[in-house]
Amino acid sequence: MHDFKIGDVVTRKSYGGDVHFKIVDIINPGGKKPVYVLRGMLYRLHADCLGEDLVKHDTRDVHAHVRQNITNFKKHASTKSSHGGLLSFLNKLRTRPGRILHIDSSKEFLDMCLEHYREGGLNPIGIRSDESEQPSVVKRLLERYHADILVLTGHDSMKKSYGKTDSIEAYSNSRYFIEGVKLAREYEPSADKLCIFAGACQSYFEAIMSAGANFASSPGRVLINALDPAFVAEKVALTDSKRVVTPGLIAGITVSGADGIGGINTKGHLMM
């Protein structure tokens, strides 16, 4: 009998312990072994597995490791971005950065992203909502907050049982990101007026883009970092409305790069 409970920090033996997860649910099918539902602590990855594949880790040590990595990722983004102290200067000129509405299934990741935005002088709206609930709340929230930039994110994964990448059934949560983007585009059809980022680890990039996103994950079906969606939104919010944010620029400032985030040339939302 495996001694695991909700909240435990674990890794998977079958993947060489490459990603730290938190156990968020335990499913007990009748008479069968319990299945542990996992959410990545540094990456936006969803997984589930049996207890014999799990190794428990010290929670405090892993949290310290995650905090250090987040600090390093922020330094990476700040050195690659051209903003620096730009916003404090621009505020004196009474400019207006793009307004960000960030909808996230993870409270921990949402808090990380909101902290990052505020460190850069931005004032985002942050809403915690499960992936499956996001399509039902996105239009109401857009109507309420009149955002220029929308982030729909959380956790996702490709299921090992599907060999194809072009089936929605191969993905844990991509269907919700796709539907959320479609509904957001019904509210605002113009990709210039509303910039949308959607997706998480290994998400169905092509379908999310076809639904109307400006940027999405994950072209290479790779893991994306907790802060990658925030790096995208921040870049668009602080780019002059007379300029465009290219996929190449986004690849340069995100942790996961071009394999993690792709998109289209997108108008900045900093109003001078």
pLDDT at residue 33, rounded to an integer:
86
Task: Look at residue 1 and tell me if it is in a domain.
Answer: no
132 shares its domain with 19: no
Q: Check residue 240 and report its DSSP letter.
A: B
For residues 25 and 90, membership in a common domain is answered with no
Cα angle 175, 168, 48 (rounded to 5 degrees) comes to: 80
pLDDT tens digits along 134-170: 999 999 999 999 999 999 999 999 987 777 889 999 9
Q: Can you give the pTM of this predicted structure?
A: 0.91
Indicate the number of domains in the chain.
2
Domain of 21? 9-57
Helix-strand-coil split of the chain, %, nearest 5: 40, 25, 40
Q: Is 223 helix (H, G, I), strand (E, B) or coil?
A: coil
Residue 156, domain CATH: 3.40.50.2300
CA end-to-end distance (rounded Å), the chain: 62
Task: Band the pLDDT of 92: cuts 50, 70, 90.
Answer: very low
User: What does each C-alpha distance from 66 to 9, 38, 109 come to in angstroms?
Assistant: 12, 16, 11
148 shares its domain with 17: no
35 with 83, same domain: the answer is no
Instruction: Check residues 33 and 87 and name the one with the higher pLDDT.
Output: 33
Query: What mean pLDDT is predicted for residues 57-75?
Result: 82
Cα–Cα distance between 239 and 214 in angstroms, integer? Answer: 15
Task: Give the model confidence (pLDDT) of 27-36 as tens digits.
Answer: 986 668 899 9
Q: 47-51, 109-113, 146-150, 262-266: lowest mean pLDDT where?
A: 47-51
**Dihedral of alpha carbons 248, 252, 254, 258, sign:** positive
If asked whether residues 113 and 211 sit together in one domain, one would say: yes
Rounded Cα gap, residues 122 and 22, in angstroms: 30
**Residue 90 and residue 221 in one domain:** yes
